[in-house]
Chains A and B, each alone.
Chain A
Amino acid sequence: MKRKRSLAELRGATSLYAAMMAIIVGLLFGLIILLFSNSKEAFPAFFTILAGGFTDGSKGVGQVLYNAIPIIMTGLSVGFAFKTGLFNIGASGQFTFGAFAAIYIGAKWTFLPPQIHWLIALLGAMVAGAIWGMGPGLLKAFANVNEVIASIMMNYIGMYLVNMMIVKTVYDKIKNQTKPIAKSAIIPKGGLDKLFGANNLNIGIFIAILMVIIIYIILQKTTFGYELKACGQNKNASRYAGINEKRNIVLSMTIAGALSGIGGGLLYLSGSGKYLQVLDVLAAEGFNGISVALLGMSHPIGILFAGLFIAHITVGGFNIQLYSFVPEVIDIIIAAIIYCGAFALLFKSILSKKASKPVEESKTSDEMKKEDN
């Protein structure tokens, strides 16, 4: 009995162990690539990656936080959908759509009072993302179209549609990108820029953390979250229990879309000189969100830290340009680490298999009866 209890307790910690293992494997893999491309400088470069944002002191930390904001949001979006049994691979399209809505409102709706301009732009991003997420949700619920297929298509539709709309509305012809947004639409810095010495950082990080907390509360504490999780874990049992699973699928995808949309808004309203460019490329933040969600085991708090970690090594990867590595190698290393991060689930299943085997062969009712007598 004692052994069983300790194993059961382990289950909670399994996720953390698994994520750690994934990270370590990823880092070792990255080290191997470094050794192959330039063995002399491999180790110093490796430690620079590990040091990440800390290399540049508080400025670097600020940069890590800034980089983490959008991927925490897309990670949250993917993770939330995962928890409810859906694979939202459309975070990229929702992100882009949200970004465009934010930029459009930020650049055009200058009639708004300056105090709330940025907030309205951000809300616009949220609504746009939500609409883009709702589409695949509706298709899934009422026409049984696989949400993966639908949201991949929505990624492309979203990207080209946004390109088209940029050209029609807020186009900067010379730079082939969006026009700058109004000053009032830039998210307040809240003194964070001074605190960290990083110009880009703003209160967006607090908004992201707030979203993490809200999603955590919804999933863990409310009946709504209970319903969503029940539908995600077992659609048939939810139906049997009288839960409206169609409504929940739509809501789940809508919320996931809204989170990605906010991510797009937060990035492009930060006034960091980032513009939405008219390119035929899907937004990478959406796909990085998948890695963040996998590494964070779809748990909101896990996603927060996974997002910070990936931002951390991204900054670290940027810093190893000091050594003689071509930028592509840096990208490969970061990708390798993220890729292995996605294996966290695999490690988890291995760990929990080991842990749960004796528990699964639990006693038959008869055996228990005997014990009682």
Chain B
Amino acid sequence: MEYVIEMNHITKVFGNFKALDDVTLKVKKGEIHALLGENGAGKSTLMSVLFGLYQAEKGEIKINGNQVQINNPNDANNLNIGMVHQHFKLVHNFTVLESIVLGRETVKAGFLKKDDARKKVIALSDRYKLKIDPDAYIADITVGMQQRVEILKMLYCDSDILIFDEPTAVLTPQEIEELMKIMKELVKEGKSIIFISHKLNEIKEVADRCSVLRKGKYIGTVEVASTTKEEMSEMMVGRKVNFNIEKTDLPTGNAVLEVKNLTIKAKNSNKNVVNNVSFAAKKGEILCIAGIDGNGQSELVYGITGLMPLNEGKILLNGKDVTKESIRKKCLDGMAHIPEDRHKHGLVLDFDLQENAVLQTYYESRFQRHGFIKFNAVREYAKKLIKQYDIRSPREEDSVVRNMSGGNQQKVIIARELDRNPEIVIAVQPTRGLDIGATEYIHKQLIAQRDQGKAVLLVSLELDEVMNVSDRIIVIYEGEIVADLNPKEITVQELGLYMSGVERSVNYEKKA
């Protein structure tokens, strides 16, 4: 069997850090080849080498059996290699058609000739069953359609080798299914696909073979059909992973956080990004807000925590009205917030670990006297957190947080928030961008909070997380709550229908 891509013994070094160490990747023609690995395993680096963004120190690349030198993305394009990036690279005020032809415009005497392009795009979209509206603006179409635009863009350049970099991260289950179909269709038409992912279910469903990377090293390539998920995850992580989150049933208690008729208007328009939302998070439960990114969940949390002004509504914490309270007061009342963007809100990156550990408590008498910081107390406190929450960093409490790994940065925030012994923990995508080990740890911590009888409000885009960790799910769609579900009684597909706004629970009928 001939390989379309052979990357042999690739080594890529940054400074004295080996990002790729003797990695080999061979992709057969007409297959979907999964590239599996944790964050930082070197998947993206390997693809960047293939795409000409980096040059490897050692190793060779063969395309269709011929050795090639890929110096920049243009070389890659000329070799018919195309890539759909995780974060789409589209111009929002362009139409679909304009976006597809961008960089390869058909021109006559310097004027755009869109008709030829339109014909070709429509032909491609029919052939590969990629439904698009060529005249819609990128800003107005769904994420799923944006992805189809990206795929068409590759096909428009006659790419034969398609790289999908974590394509499912932003999609609903229905859109994921659609994408899987498209991928299979593409392969049938003779394309070859490299599918980068760390989601084993998807690899299992769509890929033919799977190559695993771990910490820049090549672990092996397996036939997906004859390998179990457990085996693949062990290859990826290097140890056995427990997929089932252990959780006992708990009776729920009184409501800790009550949100009543909350409405938040968008900054620059009259649209309600959060529209008349009411719910209650009770003691001893993990309440999950599920929804596709951008449906108002971020604003909802900003509103509750005080980072964004409310237009209407009430927030009660243990029965006390905290709607008008300052962020600090809410914090003192027992609200902990693990923010969505840990670099923007959660940490002062150029402060060291100790300084970040006391970000909300530096003014308490245990850390200051007459306005002077008690440095020893702060240091001891940081040491305690490091020990208790297993925070790992090169220089312990003196580490500048910027130089710490993402998982440990997140641990700093979690340690700081949970150690305040809050009544409610509001965690927004707490495991985003983290590897399996760190994810497991954070889930355990959240469950421990719940087991102590605290309330946890979890906002997540990851369906696995939503289904496995939560005790109750409320679904948010376009700023409104559309369903209140029990994770044990529904399937991922059903959840997807609510998330994409196709269905609504009876109790949550749209008000006329």
A residues apposed to B, CB below 8 Å = 1, 4-5, 8, 11, 221-224, 226-227, 229-230, 233-234, 236-243, 356-370
A368 to B350 CA separation, bound complex (whole angstroms): 23
Chain A residues with Cβ below 8 Å from B347 are 234, 237
Chain A residues with Cβ below 8 Å from B408 are 365
Docked complex: B394-422 residues within 8 A CB-CB of A: 394-395, 398, 400, 402-405, 407-408, 411
Chain B residues with Cβ below 8 Å from A227 are 362
Chain A residues with Cβ below 8 Å from B349 are 233-234
Inter-subunit contact B17/A361 (CB<8 Å): yes
Known contacts A230-B351, A234-B348; A364/B215 CB under 8 A: yes
B213 to chain A, nearest CB (A): 13
Known contacts A365-B392, A370-B238; A240/B345 CB under 8 A: yes
0/1 interface trace, chain B 319-332, chain A, CB 8 Å (1 if under): 00000001111110
Cross-interface CB contact of A369 among B331, B404, B437, cutoff 8 Å = B437
A279 to B345 CA separation, bound complex (whole angstroms): 48
Inter-subunit contact A240/B327 (CB<8 Å): yes
Inter-subunit contact B337/A240 (CB<8 Å): yes
Chain A residues with Cβ below 8 Å from B373 are 221-223, 226
Chain B residues with Cβ below 8 Å from A226 are 355, 362, 373
Known contacts A363-B392, A366-B437; A222/B371 CB under 8 A: yes
Most chain A CB inside 10 Å of its own CB: which residue of B371, B436, B438: B371
Cross-interface CB contact of B394 among A241, A243, A359, A369, cutoff 8 Å = A359
0/1 interface trace, chain B 380-403, chain A, CB 8 Å (1 if under): 000000000000111100101011
Chain B residues with Cβ below 8 Å from A239 are 307, 327, 345
Inter-subunit contact B331/A8 (CB<8 Å): no
Cross-interface CB contact of A365 among B14, B307, B326, B435, cutoff 8 Å = B435
B127 to chain A, nearest CB (A): 42
A302 to chain B, nearest CB (A): 17
Inter-subunit contact A365/B437 (CB<8 Å): yes
0/1 interface trace, chain B 429-461, chain A, CB 8 Å (1 if under): 000000111100100000000000000000000
What's the A-B contact tally at a CB cutoff of 8 Å?
A: 122
A6 to chain B, nearest CB (A): 12
A-B contact pairs, 9 of them (CB 8 A): A4-B395, A242-B331, A243-B328, A358-B15, A360-B402, A363-B394, A365-B437, A366-B436, A370-B238
Chain A residues with Cβ below 8 Å from B344 are 234, 236-237
A365 to B346 CA separation, bound complex (whole angstroms): 19
Chain B residues with Cβ below 8 Å from A364 are 38-40, 215, 405, 407, 435
Chain A residues with Cβ below 8 Å from B348 are 230, 233-234, 237-238
Inter-subunit contact A223/B362 (CB<8 Å): yes
**B: contact size bracket:** 35 or more
Closest 4 CB pairs of A and B: A242-B328, A361-B17, A242-B327, A365-B407
A223 to B375 CA separation, bound complex (whole angstroms): 11
Known contacts A362-B393, A365-B408; A230/B359 CB under 8 A: yes
Chain B residues with Cβ below 8 Å from A4 are 394-395
> B278 in the interface, Cβ–Cβ < 8 Å?
no
Cross-interface CB contact of A357 among B15, B327, B395, B405, cutoff 8 Å = B15
B137 to chain A, nearest CB (A): 29
> B298 in the interface, Cβ–Cβ < 8 Å?
no
A234 to B408 CA separation, bound complex (whole angstroms): 19
> B228 in the interface, Cβ–Cβ < 8 Å?
no
The chain A residue with its CB closest to the CB of B328 is A242
Most chain B CB inside 10 Å of its own CB: which residue of A226, A237, A357, A365: A365
A107 to B408 CA separation, bound complex (whole angstroms): 62
> B303 in the interface, Cβ–Cβ < 8 Å?
no
Chain B residues with Cβ below 8 Å from A237 are 344-348, 359
Inter-subunit contact B16/A358 (CB<8 Å): yes
Known contacts A237-B348, A242-B326; A5/B395 CB under 8 A: yes
Chain B residues with Cβ below 8 Å from A223 are 362-363, 367-368, 371-373
Chain B residues with Cβ below 8 Å from A238 are 348
Cross-interface CB contact of A356 among B330, B346, B403, B404, cutoff 8 Å = B403
A230 to B360 CA separation, bound complex (whole angstroms): 11
A357 to B402 CA separation, bound complex (whole angstroms): 12
The chain B residue with its CB closest to the CB of A354 is B15
Inter-subunit contact B435/A233 (CB<8 Å): no
Inter-subunit contact B395/A8 (CB<8 Å): yes
> B63 in the interface, Cβ–Cβ < 8 Å?
no
The chain A residue with its CB closest to the CB of B437 is A366
